[in-house]
């Protein structure tokens, strides 16, 4: 099927934005973080992943993809019981709430009807804050909708759950920027643990681009169904 009209907002001129907007008044906000992701993955994994998935969804559905927001609260840096103080740039929960609220209001001023917030970082309450802001937005605006989610929200648990630099995130990184990964930096001869390695979830060592693509395909299938419903109601 032919790609829908879409674009990267920050790279477009006004006439180009308007051409997409007239057909698809939809904005996608990929929410990332600058967070330590163990030895083998880049600091920006969450934003790289969310940006890639937003672009893939926009190609199917149409709309404008905003640049990733690399600001997050509740990083591994301050996670209780572990000691990974380096390579994370963390912001307060209040600031995250304010950015999200103000961003949505700015998009209302530009008359976007549907806003998708896809967070690649699911620390808590960071993720809960984005969901709360979206809930409040939806109560305030009856004729617009903000869909806030993390990619695992719409996937079966056997395929993907919240994880930190584990099998799921590493496989998705392999889809969107494989050149930034160094699998050889992972220990080869022992079990991987959160405390020692800063990895939470399934062992990342068997990660593959094939599994990453399987996640993306399943995600897009479910997200397209949801978007068709939202477009029917709000566009």
Burial of 37 (0-12, 13-18, 19+ CB in 10 A): buried
Binding string, 6-45, against Zn ion, x = CB under 5 A?
---------------------------------------x
| Structure tokens given for 202 | 């399934």
Name which of 172 and 223 has its Cβ closer to Zn ion: 172
| Structure tokens given for 22 | 């007239």
Name which of 26 and 45 has its Cβ closer to Zn ion: 45
Name which of 104 and 172 has its Cβ closer to Zn ion: 172
Residue 8 neighbours by CB under 8 Å, 6+ apart: 55, 64, 65, 67
**What is the distance between the terminal CA atoms of the chain, rounded to a whole angstrom?**
22
To the nearest whole angstrom, how small is the minimum distance from the Cβ of residue 176 to Zn ion? 12
The dihedral sign for the CA sequence 133, 126, 186, 179: positive
Most distant CA atoms of the chain, gap in Å: 56
Judged by CB under 5 A, the chain residues 79 through 138 that form the site for Zn ion are: none
Name which of 46 and 56 has its Cβ closer to Zn ion: 46
| Structure tokens given for 38 | 């163990």
To the nearest whole angstrom, how small is the minimum distance from the Cβ of residue 45 to Zn ion? 5
Residue-by-residue DSSP string for 65-119: EPPPB--BSS-GGG-TT----SS-BB--HHHHHHHHHHHHHHHHHTT-SEEEEEE
To the nearest whole angstrom, how small is the minimum distance from the Cβ of residue 28 to Zn ion? 18
Name which of 46 and 153 has its Cβ closer to Zn ion: 46
Name which of 85 and 228 has its Cβ closer to Zn ion: 85
Which of the ranges 46-54, 68-76, 104-112, 170-178 carries the binding residues for Zn ion, by CB under 5 A?
Answer: 46-54
Name which of 9 and 31 has its Cβ closer to Zn ion: 31
To the nearest whole angstrom, how small is the minimum distance from the Cβ of residue 79 to Zn ion? 12
To the nearest whole angstrom, how small is the minimum distance from the Cβ of residue 232 to Zn ion? 33
The number of residues that bind Zn ion (CB under 5 A) is 2
Q: Which residues on neighbouring strands pair with residue 115, listed in sequence order?
A: 27, 146
Find the binder of Zn ion among 24, 46, 50, 96 (CB under 5 A): 46
To the nearest whole angstrom, how small is the minimum distance from the Cβ of residue 33 to Zn ion? 7
Q: Is 197 in the site for Zn ion (CB under 5 A)?
A: no
Side by side, the strands of the sheet bearing 114-119 are 6-8, 63-65, 26-31, 114-119, 145-150
Binding site for Zn ion (CB under 5 A): 45-46
């Amino acid at each position: 099927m032919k790609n829908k009209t879409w674009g990267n907002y920050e790279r477009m001129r006004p006439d180009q934005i308007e051409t997409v907007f007239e057909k698809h008044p939809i904005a996608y906000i990929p929410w990332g973080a600058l967070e330590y992701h163990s030895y083998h993955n880049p600091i920006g994994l969450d934003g790289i992943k969310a940006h890639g998935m937003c672009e893939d969804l926009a190609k199917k559905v149409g709309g404008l993809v905003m640049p990733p927001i690399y600001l997050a609260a509740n990083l591994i840096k301050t996670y209780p019981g572990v000691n990974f103080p380096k390579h994370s740039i963390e912001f307060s929960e209040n600031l995250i709430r304010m950015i999200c609220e103000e961003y949505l209001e700015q998009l209302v001023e530009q008359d976007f009807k549907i806003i998708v917030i896809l967070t690649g970082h699911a620390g808590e309450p960071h993720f809960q804050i984005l969901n709360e802001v979206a809930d409040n937005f939806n109560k305030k605006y009856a004729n617009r909708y903000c869909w806030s989610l993390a990619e695992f929200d719409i996937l079966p648990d056997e395929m993907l759950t919240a994880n930190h630099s584990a099998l799921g995130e590493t496989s998705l990184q392999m889809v969107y920027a494989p050149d930034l990964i160094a699998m050889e930096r992972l220990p080869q001869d022992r079990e991987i643990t959160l405390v020692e390695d800063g990895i939470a979830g399934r062992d990342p060592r068997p990660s593959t681009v094939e599994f990453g693509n399987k996640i993306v395909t399943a995600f897009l299938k479910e997200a397209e169904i949801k978007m068709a419903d939202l477009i029917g109601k709000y566009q």
